[in-house]
């Protein structure tokens, strides 16, 4: 994770070294995790083609090993990087929805819940609200994200859901999200804001 600190070259070198070790040991489960991390690395550098390539390799390995349930965060990676699939925005959006939905489906029945399970629902909320203008579907995904977030440890739940609010104040995160979404939706569709 050195590249998070801006140390990209060092991070890449370490990833290459551990990838070579995993390949020599024929440790496909470890190799799948390394490809996922490579995908994240390239996504962070906005190299979406290479990010997608590594996430697809991760997916193929997990599928062969029967590990997609436990390594389901790969769907989040695929949903993030699949913009490299096509120049047609509708195609890219359709694939992103497909990947995030499958990750969400697996996450909702899994124990324990992972951070990325909530992110799949969150990105579906963003897509349906801000790109498709589908308020009802967007709010459905927001509620599913909230339900899963509440299954996380409280400290992580608070950080995730209330990350945009001052950490010293406990507030109703769902209400904030709904109000923010409603204001954006009304601006997008030219509705007059109600005053109560």
**Phi/psi of residue 36, nearest 5 degrees:** -60, -45
| DSSP, residue by residue, 18-43 | HHHHHHHTT-HHHHHHHHHHHHHHHH
Could you tell me the two tokens for 86? 């096509």
Q: Could you tell me the residue ranges of all domains in the chain?
A: 1-71, 86-196
Interacting residues of 37 by C-beta distance below 8 A, sequence separation 6+:
15
17 burial (CB, 10 Å; 0-12 / 13-18 / 19+) is exposed
**pLDDT tens per residue across span 66-105:** 999 999 999 999 999 998 889 899 999 999 999 999 999 9
pLDDT at 166: 37
Sign of CA pseudo-dihedral 122, 48, 56, 82: positive
**pTM tops 0.85, yes or no:** no
**pLDDT tens per residue across span 15-56:** 999 999 999 999 999 999 999 999 999 999 999 999 999 999
Distances in Å between the alpha carbon of 52 and those of 36, 69, 81, 123? 10, 19, 5, 17
pLDDT surpassing 70 at residue 169: no
110 burial (CB, 10 Å; 0-12 / 13-18 / 19+) is middle
Radius of gyration of the chain (CA): 19
Alpha-carbon distance 16 to 12, whole Å? 6
CATH code reported for the domain at 1-71: 1.25.40
* CB 41, CB 15: distance < 8 Å: yes
Interacting residues of 61 by C-beta distance below 8 A, sequence separation 6+:
28, 29, 31, 32, 35, 67
Could you tell me the two tokens for 135? 């308020």
* CB 36, CB 44: distance < 8 Å: no
pLDDT at 171: 35
For residue 192, name the pLDDT band (cuts at 50, 70, 90). Answer: very low
Residue with tokens 């925005």: 89
């Amino acid at each position: 994770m050195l590249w998070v600190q801006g140390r990209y070259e060092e991070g890449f070198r370490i990833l290459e070294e551990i990838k070579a070790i995993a390949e020599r040991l024929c440790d496909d489960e470890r190799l799948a995790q390394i490809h996922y991390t490579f995908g994240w690395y390239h996504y962070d550098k906005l190299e979406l083609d290479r990010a997608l390539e590594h996430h697809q390799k991760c997916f193929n390995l997990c599928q062969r090993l029967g590990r997609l349930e436990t390594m389901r965060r790969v769907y989040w990676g695929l949903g993030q990087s699949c913009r490299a699939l096509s120049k047609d925005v509708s195609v890219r959006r359709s694939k992103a929805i497909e990947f995030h939905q499958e990750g969400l489906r697996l996450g909702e029945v899994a124990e324990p819940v992972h951070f990325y399970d909530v992110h799949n629902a969150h990105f579906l909320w963003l897509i349906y609200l801000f790109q498709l203008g589908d308020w009802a579907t967007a709010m459905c995904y927001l509620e599913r994200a909230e339900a899963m977030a509440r299954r996380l440890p409280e400290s992580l739940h608070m950080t995730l859901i209330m990350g945009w609010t001052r950490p010293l104040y406990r507030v109703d995160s769902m209400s904030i999200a709904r109000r923010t979404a409603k204001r954006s939706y009304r601006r997008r569709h030219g509705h007059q804001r109600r005053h109560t």
